[in-house]
Amino acid sequence: MYTLQELAKKAKPASAGSRGAEAVLQPDTDIRASQAVSSSSQQDYADSDEARSAQRSWVFPVVGFSDIINWLLRFWWLILLLALVGAAVGIGFGKTAKPRFTAGSDIIVAPSNLQVVPNDVYATSMQAESQLMDIESKLRLLTSGNVMQRVVDELKLQDDPEFNGTEKTLFSGLLGEPKKDDTVDPQQAKNIAALRELSSRVEARRPERSYLINLTVWAREPEKAVILADTVAKAFQDEVAQNERDGAARAARALTEPLSELKKAATEAEMKVAQFRNAQGLQTGNTGELVSAQALTEINSQLVGALSRQAEAKSRYAELTSAGNQALDPSGTLQSPTLTALRTQYATLKQRLDAMTMTYGPRYPELASTQSQIAGLQAQISQETSRILRAAKLDLDQANSVVETLRRQIETARSAVSLDTDAQVTLNDLERDRLTKTTLYQTYLTRAQEIAQRQQIDATNIRIASPALPPKSRSWPPGTALLTVAGAVVGGGLGTGLALLFGFIGLLRAQSRASYKK
């Protein structure tokens, strides 16, 4: 392809030579030649436009480190200006922003309650997983609505503009007051707003592998933050204790409700036992055994004693009757104080009589008197022997009579016991029913009274390890000096970005102008 200038240069010598050598050419030949030159010129012009458009196509410029330095030096005033503006904004925010003061408290939540009664309402689990679940549940309870409501009611937060949503802010005048719902009670709306605001300010977490809960609360004033933290911790303790009291109360109600029916059933069972015993004439002793059975046992014991005495009396009487000729023998079976004295006197007189007979002969005057005395003693000894035999016979007869009487009583008692045994079976069934119902009623009554007393005892093992202390500085926003530095850094960074952007835009424009000049 050739440009128009190149074609013009080539056309000049050719046209000059043609004019001198071929002057005699026909006019139609010149016309065709001029037409060919004209078409060739138009094609070369089109090709030149395509070349220029290709040269003007955009290419991403190469940015060097020197370019960046030049741009930063060129727009240093913009960087400084935005850094100053950022510092001013930081100072203004630090001076005008409402501060937050955070107070914290540590609460120890033991996995088991205090063992105040041997059989408590709540069972203590020694498994680690159950204990951790219990602590996690109490951790959620710390930030629950019930605890927050206790704090709101105690501190009257629904009337505090900081919590009830009526606090005036910088943007409240610009945005206007929110539209109020006429269907909601204003006091209730304030209470709800206070609950939401307090819930957003309370945070609780449990460090790993510990029974400790870290509680943090923030407020606009340090003293208020301390009061809020202490009140939330106290409300948490009260809520846990109240939950246990409510559980004990439910258990007490569950035990008290059937007491009237159990008492009625126990009373009816006792009345049935008493009526059946009176109807059958059954009487029991202190040991609970039937009187007839006790009487039979006693009679059997008496009969054994009577038989023993009967045997003794019979043996003694037989021995006395067989020893009738031994009345004068001092070593005889018949013995009594009177008979012993008579025997002694008889032996003395007998010795005296024998001595006088040998000494004085049978005609001695005192022999007759002594013989008369011996005869009297023999008669007395015979009388005493008869009396002893009659007494032994009387003892034997009495022993036989007692044995016979006891045997008749045993037969009567056995018949009474036999009759009472059949009734005793039915009575035993009634007694078992009575014992079951009275034991159940007594168990329910005792347990209900124990649980009722348990409601008055706070057995929760929750302690405040460290009470809240006033914070030394605000937790938000950071210090004014830090905000100033941060604002200056942010403003300077923004200015640096703008400087680089403006420099790059200038580079693009210069490259575009250079491409158009070509």
Written as one letter, the residue type at 403 is V
CB 2 within 8 A of CB 47: no
Residues 135 and 246 reside in one and the same domain: yes
Residues 17 and 104 reside in one and the same domain: no
Residues 92 and 172 reside in one and the same domain: no
CA of residue 272 relative to chain centroid, distance: 45
Residue 155's pLDDT is 94
Q: Can you read off the two tokens belonging to residue 152?
A: 């709101």
Residues 128 and 69 reside in one and the same domain: no
Is position 85 within any domain?
yes
pLDDT for 273-325, tens place per residue?
Answer: 888 878 877 666 656 666 667 777 888 888 888 888 888 888 777 766 765 54
**Considering its fold, how many domains does the chain have in total?**
4
Is position 223 within any domain?
yes
Point out the domain boundary residue: 34, 50, 66: 50
CB 487 within 8 A of CB 91: yes
Residues 83 and 221 reside in one and the same domain: no
Residue 191's pLDDT is 92
Residues 406 and 506 reside in one and the same domain: no
Is position 83 within any domain?
yes
- Residue by residue, DSSP assigns 304-336 as HHHHHHHHHHHHHHHHHHHTGGGTT-TTSS---
Reduce the DSSP state of residue 184 to 3 states and report it.
coil
Residue range of the domain that includes 20: 4-50
Residue 118's pLDDT is 55
For the chain, what's the residue count? 518
In the chain, which residues have pLDDT < 50? Answer: 1-48, 51, 54-56, 171-175, 325, 328, 331-333
Residues 303 and 449 reside in one and the same domain: yes
Residue 225's pLDDT is 94
Closest by CA position to 202, among listed 219, 224, 221: 219
Residue 494's pLDDT is 93
Is position 68 within any domain?
yes
- Residue by residue, DSSP assigns 52-80 as HHHHTS--PPPPPHHHHHHHHHHTHHHHH
Residues 112 and 249 reside in one and the same domain: yes
Reduce the DSSP state of residue 109 to 3 states and report it.
strand
Q: What is the rounded CA–CA span in Å between residue 149 and residue 155?
A: 10
With b meaning 16 or more CB within 10 Å and e meaning fewer, what string describes 270-308?
A: bebbeebbeeeebebeeeeebebbbbbeebeebbeebee
Residues 110 and 249 reside in one and the same domain: yes
Is position 135 within any domain?
yes
pLDDT for 107-118, tens place per residue?
Answer: 998 776 555 555
Q: Can you read off the two tokens belonging to residue 500?
A: 């680089």
Residues 43 and 75 reside in one and the same domain: no
Query: Quick one: CA torsion of 27, 30, 36, 41, rounded to 10 degrees?
Result: -130
Is position 503 within any domain?
yes
Residue 106's pLDDT is 93
Residues 63 and 17 reside in one and the same domain: no
Closest by CA position to 89, among listed 476, 485, 497, 475: 485
Quickly tell me which residue has 């009579």 as its tokens.
Answer: 401
Is position 263 within any domain?
no
Residues 403 and 484 reside in one and the same domain: no
Reduce the DSSP state of residue 214 to 3 states and report it.
strand
Element (H, E) at 105: strand 101-109
Query: Which phi and psi angles does 155 have, rounded to 5°?
Result: -95, 0
Is position 265 within any domain?
no
Parallel, antiparallel, or unpaired: how do β-strands 101-109 and 212-219 relate?
antiparallel
Residue 106: CATH number of its domain: 3.30.1890
Residue 248's pLDDT is 81
